[in-house]
Homo-oligomer: A and B are copies of this chain.
Amino acid sequence: MSVLIVGSTALDSIKTPKAENPRLLGGSASHAAVAASFFSPVKLIGVVGGDFPRKYIGLYRRHKIDLAGLQILPGKTFHWSGEYELNMNNRRTLLTELGVFENFTPHLPDAHKASPFVLLANIAPALQHHVLDQMLRPRFVVADTMDLWLNIALADLLKLLPRLDGFVLNDNEAHQLTKEDNLFAALEKIHRLGPKYVIIKKGSHGSILSGPRGFFICPAYPLHRVVDPTGAGDSFVGGMMGFLATARGSIDANIRRAMIYGSVTASFCCEGFGLTRTTKTKRTDIEKRVKELEKLTKF
């Protein structure tokens, strides 16, 4: 089955202590879509400007991403510029130029409205609502978010949560949302806000699922070198949704393994700037790391 993914489609200029890479393909939807494409057909919903490089359209196409829902409007593509500190955990935004993203109204082609799996990648909650409003009874809806929306669009986000099957956020965001320091206490509170599945991302510490079958402690793949973690969270949730969309059986039976596939896909993302490493990855590379993770957690 296919995954419909909405989110940002952007150009990222990323500075690290060691290098500078201008105008890479980025945005939550780009990372999530490429990650999901290893497992399932993907339908992308987004917007770019007239300046969007044709090579990036080619990149989406090589990953067989359906672009019927990608609007190309006169104006500039959303451009984000950020800088990482040496430890690759702290990043600061240098520049945000919204461009055509400022007035983005996601519009679903009719053929997309029946997509069974929907990933509302990180984007304003109002736009996540707007996509859901156009869907016909999707089977499994997951949303990702970020601290910005907790700060400036909390009411929209709180209204979104009951409409979701799964909600993904990082540990700091979970603390911010619930005012709970303890992660497992925070998870309980987030369930009460709506979602049946809650996943907390913890970067290099892995992730935690809380769902009907209890918790799952999902490891991160051990990386000796992190080049650029931008998009790792999007790759994680994209890979997870892509895997889930093609797995046979119930969500409950597959979601843990889906998280492992997401975790491994995210590990490739971290090994290059933007999507440069991810796009060179083959399904067999992913399977190899999944097998390694199985060994690394066995006792």
Binding site for B on A (CB under 8 A): 86-88, 181-185, 188, 202, 204-206, 208, 214-219, 222-226, 256-257, 259-260, 294-299
Contacts and interface: CB of A to CB of B under 8 A. Distances in A.
B298 A256 contact: yes
Nearest to A175: B87
Nearest to A220: B217
Copies in the complex: 2
A187 B171 CA distance: 25
A223 B256 contact: no
Contacts of A222: 183-184, 208, 215, 217
A182 B226 contact: yes
Contacts of A299: 216, 218, 256-257, 259-260, 294
A183 B222 CA distance: 9
8 contacts: A86-B181, A87-B181, A184-B222, A184-B224, A188-B224, A208-B222, A219-B219, A219-B297
Ranked nearest first, the 9 interchain pairs of A and B with the lowest CB-CB distance are A256-B299, A205-B205, A87-B181, A217-B219, A184-B224, A257-B299, A184-B222, A217-B296, A260-B299
A218 B188 CA distance: 24
Contacts of A202: 205
A296 B218 CA distance: 9
Given A205-B205, A256-B299, A259-B299, 5 more contacts: A185-B224, A214-B295, A215-B296, A217-B219, A217-B297
A150 to B, nearest CB: 18
A271 to B, nearest CB: 12
Contacts of A217: 206, 219, 222, 296-297
A297 B206 CA distance: 12
A81 B212 CA distance: 42
Nearest to A221: B217
A214 B111 CA distance: 48
Contacts of A226: 182
A208 to B, nearest CB: 8
B225 A182 contact: yes
Contacts of A188: 224
A219 B294 CA distance: 14
Contacts of A204: 183
